[in-house]
Structure 1
Amino acid sequence: MREIVLDTETTGFDPLTGDRIVEIGCVEVINYIPTDKQLHLYINPERDMPPGAFAVHGLSEEFLRDKPVFAAICGQFLDFIGDSRLVIHNAEFDMKFINAELVRLGIKPLPMSRSLDTVAMARRKFPGAPASLDALCRRFGIDNSNRTLHGALLDAQLLGEVYLELQGGRQPDLVLAGSRGEVARNADGSAVKVERARREPRPHAPTAEELEAHSALLGKLKNPMWLTGAS
Structure 2
Amino acid sequence: MESYLLHDANASSNFKIMMMIQKEGMKGYGIYWMILEFLRVQNGYKADVRILPVLARKMRVTVATLKRIIFDSGLFEVNDTTFSSPGLTRRMGPLEAKREANRESGRRGGLANQQRIREGMASDALPINQTNDINNSPSISPQRETGKNEEVLLLPPEYALNKNTHNYEGLMEELQRQKVTVIKEINAILRLTDFGKLKGKIWKILYDINNSPQMKARIVMPGKYILKLLQN
TM-score (norm 2): 0.22
Structure (1 or 2) with the greater helix fraction: 2
Question: Which has the higher relative contact order, 1 or 2, with Cα contacts under 8 A spaced 6 or more apart?
Answer: 1
When normalised by structure 1's length, the TM-score is 0.23
